[in-house]
Amino acid sequence: MPRSRYRVQCDPCPHFLTAAVNHWQPLFTRPETVNIILDSWRFLQRDAGFRLYGYVILENHLHIIAASENLSHDMQRFKSYTAKQIIAHLEQRRSVKLLELLAFFKRAHKQETTYQVWEEGNHPQIIESEAVMRQKLDYIHHNPVKRG
């Protein structure tokens, strides 16, 4: 049973999703970590038919409008892959403080890992109409940070 009352309601309908870094740590302040996110989306677009309609990446979370045949699974793949890549990047850069925080704030039930990069869940909200799509795209468009 999912830990959240928020679920993808219909595949392949577009959904507005939010992914937050564990304990809102500022991981996306450098191009290298943002590129990990972008590379993962490109892979999913090629490999899984993942459709990305819009996104905004802030320093500690991101919003996307996306659809796929199995959006929950693709978001799980996205978070798993990007978490491993971000941890490897932080280890390579010897970002000890960030790694310590990601370990300290890791949820107790996450026994298989040392660090937890992402908060659990992604708050999917189905986009049921063109008006809702325009509203969500407008939100993304008017955000003053990195966007696509």
- Output the pLDDT for position 1: 34
The CATH architecture of the domain made up of 15-147 is 2-Layer Sandwich (3.30)
H or E element at residue 139: helix 130-141
Contact, 37 vs 28, CB < 8 A? yes
Return per-residue pLDDT of the chain as tens, 148 residues. 344 444 556 668 899 999 999 999 999 999 999 999 999 999 999 999 999 999 999 999 999 999 999 999 999 999 999 999 999 999 999 999 999 999 888 776 666 778 899 999 888 888 888 888 888 888 787 765 544 4
Compute the radius of gyration of the chain from its Cα atoms: 15
Rounded to whole angstroms, the Cα distance separating 66 from 79 reads: 14
- Output the pLDDT for position 36: 98
Rounded to whole angstroms, the Cα distance separating 61 from 72 reads: 18
- Rounded to two decimals, the pTM is 0.82
**Which residue from 130, 58, 47, 129 is spatially nearest to 81, judged by alpha carbons?**
47
